[in-house]
Structure 1
Amino acid sequence: MKGSKKVFTVNRLLSLLFFVMLLPFMLVSLWSFDYIQKDNINTFENNLSRFTHNTAMESVNRQLEEIGIVFQILNSRITPNGAKGFIEEDHDTLNAILASIVNTLTFFDAAIISDIHDHYRIYPKIQLKGFVPSQRPWYPGVKQKNGIHYSEPYNDLLPDLHNSNNHSVTITVSMDLFDEELLKYGNIAFDLDLYSMSTPLQDIVTPFEGKFLVAAQDGTVIMHSNFREIFHQKIPQRWIDKAIDLEGNFYDAETEKFIFYHSFSDPYWVAFTIVDKEMYDDYIGKAPQTLIIIISLCLVIYTVLVCLCRVYIKSIISRLYMGVNGINVEEQEHNLERVYNNIKKSHLELEEARKISGEDALTGVGSRRNFDTRLDELIAHNEPFYLAILDLDNFKSINDAFGHVVGDSVLKYVSNAGKAILEPKYHIYRFGGEELVALFPGNDYEEYFNLMETWRQVISQRQWRETTLSVTFSCGIAKWKEGETAQDVIIKADKTLYAAKQSGKNVILSSCD
């Protein structure tokens, strides 16, 4: 009798324990279902918002910034006489500059310079009957110094000069030209090659099997990883109308698609990431499936625990007692320590990988290691080359006066301007601190000097938001001679740089004898 009563009491206690444990578990499960679903929605939105922003900045905005730098350079180099000479085919220098830009920069198809009397010349050379620049859709309607104007997509009268994509629709970017008295004397314009500008999108994998594209204000698709979509497809105008903020997202019920966007102010383009509702439902629907599996596993565990409690109650209590008193703590700590050591080792390996990376993390130009490798290759192959070392003037004073954030911004701008001028034919590397180096394989010293001089002028003429900030650099150029080591030519260029600093700064000197 007593034994039966004890068994009955133990069974009741175990059953009560089971349900007491099960009740909070079910409450937590319901809460988890709601939390996981909301977390998946937030993850979905955050991932696509971040992807849209990063892709728009890296694959679109970076090219727009490079276009802006090209126009800034041309604005500082073109003069009324130079433009007139180019139009009258009597200016080889400007023709060479435009030829270099059109043939080197992938986002330009053709260039045209016109004066206020609608006299013009196109590179590559072509003459069209009845062509009036001021009446073209891309011609700026407002006179604005240094203002860059992007047209809407339009049917171009020019044939496809490269015969690469056979498109008749294009977008033209242009800028009015002003003399020193701020009188307009002409205009320069470039037809954009949106197919080449879309090439970076081919290497991008859009999350949730979505699509990334860029559209003009009339809805025409102007950038897409699938070239067949460019100028041939349009997005709904309501998508453009809803993209009123810099960034945002919305759901389009008519097409059953989730839309994430990043808008640009100049040009008035909008980058879209488009994901089907089916993919959204599939991702969000993983929450109940995962939760059911977890609940099932937990119920199995609970059942096993109850059975073990019935048969091995004393053994369980003993094991719990040993666990509370830390019998297996040492082993657990050993495992955690091993995990920590593995993480620490992986972190060190990651840092080492960053050190040997071929690109400088701050400026985006080549790293010092990459420079040393390229320099050794040129010397090993006995290829003639020139080395230019530049150093930002008074950079420590800039950091002290405006802070390191402004200093980093200055270094980034100088590097990006240099890349726009020199690349892809020549390459820039970060030598250390505020020093940059450029390698020029070949013997065309005059071209190399002119490129560095253009770079120097662009930097010195830049108007910064900080009104008292002035940025210049000094540069030394040296020619490698057969038999010299890498250290020899670096020392030679560095001495020339020092001489440039001593001569008053903001100057380029060379020792190419």
Structure 2
Amino acid sequence: MSLHSKKLSFTTPILVSFSGILIAFILIAVFITLTQRKDFVEDYHNINRNFTHNLAVNYTESILRENDYILGRAATYFSRNDKLDETVNVDPEKGVQVLMQLQNLMPTVSSVSLADSQGHYLRAPDVLPADGSEAVDVRTRPWFIRQAEASIFSHYTSPYMDYFLHQPTVTIFKPVISPEGKLKGTLAFHLDLTVMGYTLRQMVAPVQGEFFVVDRDGKVVLHPDTGALFKQYLSEDVMSRMTSGEGHVFDGKTGFWYYYYSFTNPDWFVIYRVADSTLKDITRHETNIVSWGFALAAIVIILFGLYLRHASRTVLMNIIHAIKTGEVNSAPRLESTLSKTILTNKERERDYVRQATVDALTGCKNRRAFDSDIAALMQEHQHFALALVDIDNFKSINDTWGHLSGDIVLRNVAREGIQVMQPEHISVYRYGGEEFAILFPTDHLDAAFRLVETWRLQVAERTWREEGLQVTFSAGLGEWHFEPLEQLIGSVDEALYKAKQQGKNRILRTS
């Protein structure tokens, strides 16, 4: 008679339990993998949108704002008395010199045109028409203004063919209107799109992609490759889906994601184009790592299940042997199991937060942190002072010693400022390019001036490795008197501009 009974099976409950654990583990692993894949894609969308935002604000917008500011100041200068007529008609030779001085202030402007309302004009630098060609009638140019407009803001032309250089170009222009409201003429800056696009080559994208700037029709106006200028890069369907502001859209026909940031004036879009296959490859790589981790864990579970089955049978046999022989000292001891520690990703999360608010090159807080901090101060109605600092002749430093030396200058100027401001618990922000900003939460402007002056002196007295390199900066400083943010920044920026005009390497307060 067989004494074997399934009810006495010691291993069956163990195998059933581990099978249930393994099946539940597989289902959980599949769910987590699919969820993480979705999260990875969304994370990269956020990273790419942030890159597009920084590219638009820290590079494109800063250039456009600088040109627009100088255009407005120059138009105001020519609107006074008979300055425009004297420059264009009375003494054109001296007028060309004045326009050349204006053009030299803007590295992204290839030439400057000034015309009166009758069509008489000057262009600097002067370009002679080809032999046998007719004289150009500037009244036919897209930047010529025939009558005073209600808007006195700057305008941008659509891409058109330059009469002299026979190359496509874009012009920013503004009417010159006297204080009495009479139209005196037009001042126009012809943009050097090749130079403006050159800096895009230095940009390092978070993932493999292509970044450029297009107009409302989808034609390229800025691109690292000058051969792509004015080509149709975006379809009408994609452009119609881009709203004012920023975001991203997917074009199923081409298989590209388009991350965009839009401007109102000019009506341009900063675009970062990434192939959908690139994002899929990245997320597939990320999730494959997780999947292999789960697979390895499943194998370990199976091995431990088999080991426990074998160990339990051995323990049972030893107990039976102990009962038969009475040798209890040889009976096996039960081993306690060790729990596994779970590692958190808290440190990784902190790194992400730091990358979102700190400029990687200089160690200063970035523009996004500046916008957030100044908005908080204004919302809480706290008194504060704002300083804008701009390194003098930075383009000349880049052109003479190279962009690597330019980066070294930026880092060291920022480091000097941080060393001065940090003991006072004051942050230095990289406002854009070679420009920095400081927020002083105080109503004592003299104290803020002394701190910026200390920074200025340390930079001016610093000895650089490059022979002949001398670095200085100019700054504007002003208090907030509860005016709008744009007005505050405009007044401080104007003080900075006056400091540049008065010889640089100095600090001026707002009026």
Does TM, normalized by the shorter one, top 0.5?
yes
Partner of 1:199: 198
| SS of corresponding position for 1:235 | coil
> Does the alignment pair 1:151 with 2:154?
no
Partner of 1:67: 67
| SS of corresponding position for 1:285 | helix
| SS of corresponding position for 1:50 | helix
- Normalising by structure 2, what TM-score? 0.65
| SS of corresponding position for 2:181 | coil
Maintained 8 Å contact 1:146/1:175: yes
CA distance in 1, matches of 2:186, 2:277: 50
- Normalising by structure 1, what TM-score? 0.65
Q: CA RMSD in A?
A: 4.8
Partner of 2:327: none
CA distance in 2, matches of 1:234, 1:467: 34
Partner of 1:24: 24
Shift of 1:169: 0.4
| SS of corresponding position for 1:23 | helix
Question: Which amino acid letter does the alignment assign opposite residue 65 of structure 1?
Answer: R
Shift of 1:36: 1.8
Shift of 1:7: 11
Shift of 1:37: 2.4
Maintained 8 Å contact 1:145/1:177: no
CA distance in 2, matches of 1:476, 1:291: 57
Q: How does 1:309-320 map to 2 (within 5 A)?
A: 309-312=308-311, 317-320=334-337
Partner of 2:83: 82
Q: How does 1:102-121 map to 2 (within 5 A)?
A: 102-121=103-122
Query: CA offsets, 1:197-242, max 9 Å, x none?
Result: 1122101233442111111123221111112212345432322222
CA distance in 2, matches of 1:317, 1:227: 75
CA distance in 2, matches of 1:59, 1:467: 19
Partner of 1:136: 141
| SS of corresponding position for 1:114 | strand
Residues 1:114 and 1:61: Cα distance change in structure 2 (over 3 Å): same
Residues 1:258 and 1:112: Cα distance change in structure 2 (over 3 Å): same
| SS of corresponding position for 1:255 | coil
CA distance in 1, matches of 2:202, 2:308: 58
Question: Which amino acid letter does the alignment assign opposite residue 157 of structure 1?
Answer: Y
| SS of corresponding position for 2:61 | helix
Partner of 1:263: 262
Question: Which amino acid letter does the alignment assign opposite residue 116 of structure 1?
Answer: S
Maintained 8 Å contact 2:67/2:106: no
Query: CA offsets, 1:282-302, max 9 Å, x none?
Result: 234346634542332122111
| SS of corresponding position for 1:262 | strand
Question: Which amino acid letter does the alignment assign opposite residue 318 of structure 1?
Answer: E
Q: Unmatched 5+ residue regions in structure 1? A: 160-166, 365-398, 442-450, 478-489, 508-513
Partner of 1:175: 174
Residues 1:2 and 1:11: Cα distance change in structure 2 (over 3 Å): farther
Could you tell which deviates more after superposition, 84-93 or 421-430?
A: 421-430
Maintained 8 Å contact 2:29/2:291: no
Maintained 8 Å contact 1:173/1:191: yes
CA distance in 2, matches of 1:425, 1:118: 36
Query: CA offsets, 1:134-193, max 9 Å, x none?
Result: 32112357614541010000111022xxxxxxx610001101111122222111101101
Shift of 1:28: 0.8
Maintained 8 Å contact 2:381/2:482: no
> Does the alignment pair 1:411 with 2:372?
no
Residues 1:289 and 1:120: Cα distance change in structure 2 (over 3 Å): same
Maintained 8 Å contact 1:140/1:149: no
Maintained 8 Å contact 1:145/1:178: no
> Does the alignment pair 1:54 with 2:73?
no
Partner of 2:437: none
Partner of 2:467: none
Partner of 2:219: 220
Q: What is the identity percentage for the equivalent residue pairs of Structure 1 and Structure 2? A: 17
Partner of 2:15: 15
Shift of 1:362: 7.1
Query: CA offsets, 1:28-48, max 9 Å, x none?
Result: 123113312221221232222
CA distance in 2, matches of 1:210, 1:355: 22
CA distance in 2, matches of 1:264, 1:103: 26
CA distance in 2, matches of 1:9, 1:225: 74
Shift of 1:251: 1.9
CA distance in 2, matches of 1:124, 1:3: 110
Question: Which amino acid letter does the alignment assign opposite residue 11 of structure 1?
Answer: T
Q: How many residues align?
A: 406
Maintained 8 Å contact 1:144/1:176: no
CA distance in 1, matches of 2:482, 2:93: 30
Partner of 1:374: none
Question: Which amino acid letter does the alignment assign opposite residue 216 of structure 2?
Answer: Q
> Does the alignment pair 1:185 with 2:202?
no
Maintained 8 Å contact 2:117/2:145: no
CA distance in 2, matches of 1:266, 1:73: 18
Q: Name which of 484, 487, 499 aligns with 1:465.
A: 484
CA distance in 2, matches of 1:152, 1:355: 34
| SS of corresponding position for 1:198 | helix
Maintained 8 Å contact 2:96/2:123: no
Residues 1:58 and 1:355: Cα distance change in structure 2 (over 3 Å): closer
Residues 1:290 and 1:466: Cα distance change in structure 2 (over 3 Å): closer
Partner of 1:393: none
Residues 1:209 and 1:147: Cα distance change in structure 2 (over 3 Å): same
Maintained 8 Å contact 1:176/1:186: yes
| SS of corresponding position for 1:258 | strand
Residues 1:359 and 1:279: Cα distance change in structure 2 (over 3 Å): closer
Maintained 8 Å contact 2:117/2:183: yes
CA distance in 2, matches of 1:355, 1:37: 29
CA distance in 1, matches of 2:478, 2:82: 24
| SS of corresponding position for 1:319 | coil
Shift of 1:248: 2.3
Maintained 8 Å contact 1:82/1:91: no
Maintained 8 Å contact 2:11/2:309: yes
Residues 1:360 and 1:172: Cα distance change in structure 2 (over 3 Å): same
Q: How does 1:199-348 map to 2 (within 5 A)?
A: 199-286=198-285, 289-312=288-311, 317-320=334-337, 323=338
CA distance in 2, matches of 1:119, 1:463: 45
Shift of 1:15: 0.4
Q: Unmatched 5+ residue regions in structure 2? A: 316-331, 369-376, 398-408, 422-439, 441-447, 461-472
